[in-house]
Amino acid sequence: MKTCMSTSGRACRASARRSGFALAIVFVAAAALGSLRPTRVASQDHNFAGSVQTNYLWVATDPDAREQTFDGFTNELSLKVAVDFSDAVSANIKLCYGCHGVELGMAFTDLRVLDELNFRAGRFSPSFGDFPLRHDPANHLTADKPLPYDMGRMLRLREFNLSVLPAPYVDQGLEINGTHWFGDYLQLDYAAYLIGGLRGGQDAVDVDFMESRQPYYVDNNSEPAVGGRAALTWDATPDMMFTVGASGMAGHYDPKRELEYVLLGADLYARLYTLNLHAEYLVRRTQMALGDDPDSRFRYGPGGSGEYDDFFVKDGFYVEGNLPVTRRLELVARFDGLRRLGNVTINSPLRSRSVVLRYTAGVNVVFDGSVRLKVSGEVYDFSDFDDEVAANVGFVAAF
């Protein structure tokens, strides 16, 4: 540390204060790092996991279904490595291959200071909703995903521009999360995060989900989106468990940060002996660029106020139950829907209120060695298109 021989007393005191402050920061940082040191074992633990699902989608009512979805064979592969550096530090890396090509599904590090305080940095699925917890094809029991989270399996996917939030939604950023138990029965989970956010083009009228997966993974508008989640779990009995959760996310999706989106969700999970019930509702309010000449851009004219609405709302829900009836047989039933409310572009086949409801019933055959055959039938009830009947036959292995 410098002496004060050649400086004035005031400058010397200021310098000493700065030095003391810097020392205090170093001390606190060292103490924090010290608290993160491995408590018992210095070695790393590696765990490899993966899954592969091959699915055949047959649309019985449309011989040219490729015009409205990815029918026929599709394949999804995921490979994941989890590394526990210590009790407090771990990292996860996951590579996926699907209809959109190769994707980095996870690349993040967790720093756990307490059960109630975990820092997650990197590329991850921000905490939103219940389904993303089990989005991997090996972890959910239908070949496709619920409509609010669909990413390329639903019929008329292009007309609806996919779902409310295609899962897995992966982004870069920082998340602070934690969990706390109140006694032995109530668990509170929470998370808050800053991420790049949904992306879209200049003067856009909706989010472009392909942009979220464009290499390289960079933000498009120099402004993070913000979000969070809270969930309360009641561990009622050894055979019964209930979770209720709420999620939110908001930000701008265009390069000029003029178009805003707000995404909200609520979810419910119940475990009643061997019966699993999931229910969720998602809604996204998305601002649209009206442009210089809205008359030529939009199908519907201005409202009663004489002005064009500059937003639309897309919401969706699902209710799903699954029940293992024997050690090798599972029943799955699902009712889900997706709705878009608001003005549409002049060429859109949708109306200002477009709805799709879907009814799904399925049977899974469980083989030893964690291989499942998923068979399901689906009936689509469209408000703006002909109704469709489809079937999925999926073969999934977790390894």
Partner 1 sequence: MTTSGRLWLLLLLSSAWAAGSCASQLEARRGDALDVSGYPPDVQAAYDVFAVRCSRCHTLARPFNARITEDAHWIRYVARMRLQPASGINQKNGEIILKFLLFYTAELRRQEASEGAPPDIPRPPESPGWTDSEPEPPTRQVDAGVVEPAPPGETGVDSGAPSSDTAPTSPPAPALGRDS
H or E element in which residue 367 lies: strand 353-367
Burial 68-85 (b: 16+ CB within 10 A, else e): bbbbeebebebbbebebb
Q: Interface with partner 1 includes 268 (CB under 8 A)?
A: no
Query: C-beta of 337: minimal distance to partner 1 in Å?
Result: 24
Query: C-beta of 260: minimal distance to partner 1 in Å?
Result: 27
- Identify any residues that bridge with 226 across adjacent strands, giving them in sequence order: 194, 250
Which of 262, 253, 260 has the alpha carbon at shortest distance from 201?
253
Query: C-beta of 149: minimal distance to partner 1 in Å?
Result: 15
Site for partner 1 in 53-112 (CB under 8 A): 53-54, 73, 75, 77, 82, 84, 87-88, 90, 112
Q: Which two tokens stand for residue 160?
A: 């609806």
Q: Interface with partner 1 includes 239 (CB under 8 A)?
A: yes
Site for partner 1 in 10-49 (CB under 8 A): 39-41, 45, 47, 49
Query: C-beta of 118: minimal distance to partner 1 in Å?
Result: 7
CA 398/CA 388 separation, integer angstroms: 31
DSSP string, 205-269: SS--GGGGGPSS---SSS--EEEEEEEEEEEEETTEEEEEEEEEEEEE-STTS--EEEEEEEEEE
Give the phi and the psi of residue 170 in degrees, each rounded to 5.
-120, 140
- Sequence-distant (6+) residues with CB within 8 A of 305 are none
Site string for partner 1, 149-188 (x = CB under 8 A): ----------------------------x-xxx--x--x-
Candidates 28, 328, 349, 381; binder of partner 1 (CB under 8 A) is 328
Chain residues that interact with partner 1, rule: CB under 8 A:
39-41, 45, 47, 49-50, 52-54, 73, 75, 77, 82, 84, 87-88, 90, 112, 114-116, 118, 127, 130, 133-134, 136, 138-139, 177, 179-181, 184, 187, 189, 191, 229, 231, 233, 235, 238-239, 241, 243, 245, 269, 271, 276, 327-328, 366-372, 395, 397-399
